[in-house]
Amino acid sequence: MGEFPKGQQGTTTARVLRTGGRLALLLLLAYGIHLLIGWISARTAEIPPGAQVDMLMALLLVYALLLAIPFAPGIEIGLMLLAAEGPWIAPWIYLATMAGLLIAYGVGEWVPYARLRRILADLHMCRACALLERTQPLSRPERVMLLHNTAPKWLRLFIPRYRYLFLAVIVNLPGNAVIGGGGGILFLTGLSRLFNPATVTLTLALGVMPVPLAVWVFGIDILP
């Protein structure tokens, strides 16, 4: 009594192991980047200023590319770096976060539908192929209207009208790696063709800003 069936117990164990593995990888990546930044800082007299900037840019590029990958916990790494390094790195983390999210959005926005349909067909995802064929000829306003008509009644007013606010909230949601992470969310945002690129950029610029700004301007410690 109170015990899981053998198959369900194995599934639960596998999930716990996957979660633990992801957390360990997250900590390892954040700690590794922190050590590299510390190494650069400790050797400021030995490393030419130009090389220091190049190293920092390379580290931030790795962070941005990691953030653009679906299901990668990139934003969490950014928060760990903010906590470890303090105010001086906040503007750089902000810019790298923006770059990573916009890369993911751009890939989704401009990926050819024909290529994506072939991939979905190879994976036997028939319903996704049918949805793609239905939405492909529609303009952006027509897609918004389709979303309004097919969404649950309680969401019909909220999602089409406040979809940019919803995007800003979900990108900042703690633990959003389980639903695709920042990269996965922005890739689907671009793929849907429901969002205007300029407005997405403005939404992300404002939505990502509060934490880095608080650390940079007020020196707020984000660790409890």
In contact, 191 and 143? CB cutoff 8 Å = no
Question: What pTM, to 2 d.p., does this model score?
Answer: 0.69
| d(C-alpha 37, C-alpha 108), whole Å | 32
Q: How many helices (H) and strands (E) does the chain have?
A: 12, 0
Q: CA geometry: angle at 96 spanning 94 and 98, to 5°?
A: 70
Alpha helix (H) ranges present in 86-180? Answer: 90-110, 113-122, 126-135, 140-150, 158-161, 163-171
**Amino acid present at 99:** A
Q: What is the pLDDT of residue 224?
A: 52
Cα–Cα distances in angstroms (integers) from residue 68 to residues 8, 34, 96, 177, 199, in the given order: 33, 20, 10, 12, 19
| d(C-alpha 184, C-alpha 30), whole Å | 20
- 3-class SS of residue 30: helix
Q: What is the pLDDT of residue 151?
A: 67
Sequence-separated contacts (24+) of 167-172 with Cβ below 8 Å: 167/195, 167/200, 167/203, 167/207, 168/203, 168/204, 168/206, 168/207, 169/207, 171/75, 171/101, 171/204, 171/207, 171/208, 172/75, 172/207, 172/208
Q: Which residues of 184-222 are buried (b: 16+ CB within 10 A; e: fewer)?
A: bbbbbbbbbbbbeeeebeebbeebbeebbebbbeeeeee
| d(C-alpha 114, C-alpha 136), whole Å | 9
Q: Which residues of the chain have pLDDT under 70?
A: 1-12, 14-16, 18-20, 22-23, 25-27, 29-52, 72-74, 119-120, 122-125, 128, 148, 150-152, 154-156, 175, 177, 220-224
| d(C-alpha 86, C-alpha 89), whole Å | 6
